[in-house]
Amino acid sequence: MSIFDLTGRTAVITGGNGGIGLGIAQALNAQGCNVSIWGRNAEKNKSAAATMSAGPGRVHTQVCDVSDPASVKAAMQATLDTFGRVHGCFANAGIGGGGRRAFIDRTEEEWRKMFATNLDGVFHVFQAAARHMTERAEAGDKFGRLVATSSLASLFGTARNEHYAGTKAALNALCRALAVELARYGVTANAILPGWIKSDMTAGIMENDKFVANVMPRIPVRRFGEPSDFGGIAVYIMSKASSYHTADCFVIDGGYTAF
C-alpha cells in the first residue's frame, strides 16, 4: 500500500466548495480520503461534491459559517455523525481585502469582519477539531492534522491590506503554538502560504493587465498557481509520511518569495 493512500481517513476542508479548498478536497478524495466540505453556500457545496472522483472516499457537505461558533459546532457534530472520526482539518475558508484602502481610512466594520472570518473562524474550527482529536488520542488513537491556509501576506508588508495580513500572520503563530501544545497527542499543526493563485478571490485582479505585467516576471515558474497545485501538499500532510513535520509554514508560490 502506498504511503500516500488515505483510505479510511477523513478530512474537513472549510471553504472546500471552491478555489484552493476544492483543489485540496479533490486531491485528498482521489487518494481514498473521506472529505467533509464546509461552506456557507449549499449549492456551491453540492456542485463541489459532484466534482469528486468516484473512489472509495466518501463526500459529505455541510452548510457552515466559520465565523459563527454554533454553526461550527453543529458542522463538526454532523461530520462526526457521518464518519465517526476526523483525522485532518484544513481551515481554509477566508475572505480577501475587498479593495485596498489606506490604513487611516480602515473602518471598524472592515477590520472586525476580516478577523471574524479569517482568524476567529480558524479558532472555532481548530478548537472543535482539536477537542475531538485529543479525546481520541486519550483513547489511544493518536493521529491529527491541523492545517491553516495562511498567505504570503503574513510575511510581506502588504500595504493597504493590513487587516488581511494581520489575520494571516496570526495563523502562522497559531499553528506553531498548537504544534507544540498538541504534539503529545499525535497532532501536527502547519500553515500553508499560497502565492498568487487563480480563484474567485483573485479573479478581478488577475484580469488587470498592469497587475499581470508587474507580478508575472517575479514568479520564476511564469504562471499563476492553480487550486490543484495544493493537492500534493495536502496529501502529504494527511499521510503518515508527515508525522515528524510540524510547526512549519509551507510556501507554495512558484518561487515568488525567492525574488
Q: Please give the positions annotated as active site.
A: 164
CA dihedral over 248, 251, 252, 255, signed as positive or negative? negative
**In the complex, minimum distance from the CB of residue 160 to ligand NDP, in angstroms, rounded to a whole number:** 16
Taking alpha carbons only, the member of 216, 228, 229 closest to residue 259 is 216
Q: Is 26 in the site for ligand NDP (CB under 6 A)?
A: no
- Rounded Cα distance between 88 and 134, Å, is 12
Task: Show the CA angle centred on residue 194, arms to residues 102 and 211, nearest 5°.
Answer: 50
- Rounded Cα distance between 133 and 103, Å, is 39
**In the complex, minimum distance from the CB of residue 35 to ligand NDP, in angstroms, rounded to a whole number:** 13
Candidates 67, 158, 161, 246; binder of ligand NDP (CB under 6 A) is 67
Q: Is 32 in the site for ligand NDP (CB under 6 A)?
A: no
Which of residues 64 and 235 has its CB atom nearest to ligand NDP in the complex? 64
Three-state DSSP at 56 gives coil
Q: Which amino acid is it at 105? A: D
Q: Is 29 in the site for ligand NDP (CB under 6 A)?
A: no
Grid cell in block for residue 178: 498548537
**Segment interacting with ligand NDP, rule: CB under 6 A, options 79-87, 93-101, 137-145, 210-218:** 93-101
Q: Is 41 in the site for ligand NDP (CB under 6 A)?
A: yes
Q: Calculate the CA 112 to chain-centre distance.
A: 20
Percent helix, strand and coil across the chain, each to the nearest 5: 50, 15, 35
- Rounded Cα distance between 26 and 16, Å, is 9
Candidates 27, 33, 52, 201; binder of ligand NDP (CB under 6 A) is 201
**In the complex, minimum distance from the CB of residue 238 to ligand NDP, in angstroms, rounded to a whole number:** 18
Burial class (CB in 10 A: 0-12, 13-18, 19+), 16: buried
The interface mask with ligand NDP, positions 114-133, x = CB under 6 A, is: ---x---x------------
Which of residues 134 and 238 has its CB atom nearest to ligand NDP in the complex? 238
Residue 198: other Cβ atoms inside 10 A: 16
Q: How far apart are the first and last CA of the chain?
A: 40
Candidates 6, 11, 12, 20; binder of ligand NDP (CB under 6 A) is 20
Candidates 5, 40, 141, 186; binder of ligand NDP (CB under 6 A) is 40
Q: Is 18 in the site for ligand NDP (CB under 6 A)?
A: yes
**Segment interacting with ligand NDP, rule: CB under 6 A, options 73-81, 99-107, 191-199, 237-245:** 191-199
Q: Is 169 in the site for ligand NDP (CB under 6 A)?
A: no
Q: Which residues bind ligand NDP (CB under 6 A)?
A: 14-15, 17-21, 39-41, 44, 64-67, 92-95, 117, 121, 149, 151, 194, 196-197, 199-202
